[in-house]
Structure 1
């Protein structure tokens, strides 16, 4: 358990940078084109030269908001559960995505005992993590994104426990980020030890909602 925690501590800033996002920047630009259909009604292409005045106006408004966000230096807060849990199908999934990597299931440790002390870890950017227990109780964790806060809140960050190979040179874990209550991205992550340092080797997207 101590070894796993030490690896997680080392790799944690990279995981935050790779998985977490400022959800305010996730809104896609409004359409700036009109679809073109053939005589049978089937879609052929999109003609960007036929954007309407309304579309152009909405795009300009979106761009101004995006420019404003790029200049915003506010700290972006993210909820995180420090009690990392075992993902029961992690090894099975890792074989599918990383067939050449042999991962072995380690002895279970009660979730209530595996509390990861993330608060002392220095992150690489302006994200700041808060324990999920510091947020209001809701019926489902991702629903806390529906509430209003007096700080910039981006979403809920999850990590699973790490499973390693026998030599403890490779490891896999699951990570996800839920934002806006209905949207999220889910990953299975392969980490490895390179020159005595743990790094992310592959970040495999497994789901989007």
Structure 2
């Protein structure tokens, strides 16, 4: 009787251990894919906010007979408009020559909306299969600090910025001793059963009021993970 109990306990421990190892392996796989594709994701979505400032008004607006805007007649620019436009040009030239790193706030805790992401993934890859197993971990901390990015963008943990509550725009009203460009986030990745394709969401807010939000479809090509397609879902 005692021997049977020991065998049963060992069997239960083996099942639990196997399950934990499987979850750890799946999590490690997701982290490795995110690490591999992360520089491409950053390049595809982040901008230097200083370059996003639109030119000032330069001339008179021209409208058609229906009252719709057609163009701006630069030949009728005022002296004040010319001065402001030249200042804007000089600032753009200054930014273009600036070799300083562009700092971006990043939330390293990646979350997943599994049900919605499966629907999104199926809409683009209709023939993929999904495991029915429920994943218990909704989020994890992504170790982004050691990842080398492709350009002058550098990420800084958003927890290192002053606390501004829920008002993201306040991040942009603070003077920093570095070039601050925006706030970046990504979700966790939802894979198909064979782990050949995946989907995640991401967004970049570059002024507190202006931002772009995307869906990224990724796939494995020649043993490398690449962005298959990115879709702009909303702009604020």
Per the alignment, do residues 42 and 157 of structure 1 end up closer, same or farther by CA in structure 2, a change over 3 Å counting? Answer: same
Judge which range, 30-39 or 138-147, deviates more: 30-39
Aligned to 1:36: 62
Per the alignment, do residues 200 and 63 of structure 1 end up closer, same or farther by CA in structure 2, a change over 3 Å counting? Answer: same
1:170 to 178, 192, 197: 197
Preserved contact between residue 80 and residue 132 of structure 1 (Cα < 8 Å): yes
Q: TM-score, normalised by structure 1?
A: 0.88
Aligned to 1:61: 87
Preserved contact between residue 83 and residue 115 of structure 1 (Cα < 8 Å): yes
1:163 & 1:90 partners in 2: Cα distance? Answer: 6
Q: Give the structure, 1 or 2, with the largest relative contact order (CA under 8 Å, sep 6 or more).
A: 1
Q: Is residue 231 of structure 2 the alignment partner of residue 204 of structure 1?
A: yes
Preserved contact between residue 172 and residue 207 of structure 2 (Cα < 8 Å): yes
Q: Is residue 105 of structure 2 the alignment partner of residue 83 of structure 1?
A: no
Per the alignment, do residues 44 and 26 of structure 1 end up closer, same or farther by CA in structure 2, a change over 3 Å counting? Answer: closer
2:82 & 2:129 partners in 1: Cα distance? Answer: 52
Judge which range, 9-18 or 24-33, deviates more: 24-33
1:139 & 1:44 partners in 2: Cα distance? Answer: 40
Q: TM-score, normalised by structure 2?
A: 0.79
Preserved contact between residue 76 and residue 126 of structure 1 (Cα < 8 Å): yes
SS in 2 for 1:84: strand
> Unaligned regions of 5+ residues in structure 1, if any?
none
Aligned to 1:21: 47
> Unaligned regions of 5+ residues in structure 2, if any?
1-26
User: How many residues are matched?
Assistant: 205
Superposition RMSD in Å:
2.1
Preserved contact between residue 94 and residue 188 of structure 1 (Cα < 8 Å): no
Aligned to 1:131: 157
Aligned to 2:174: 147
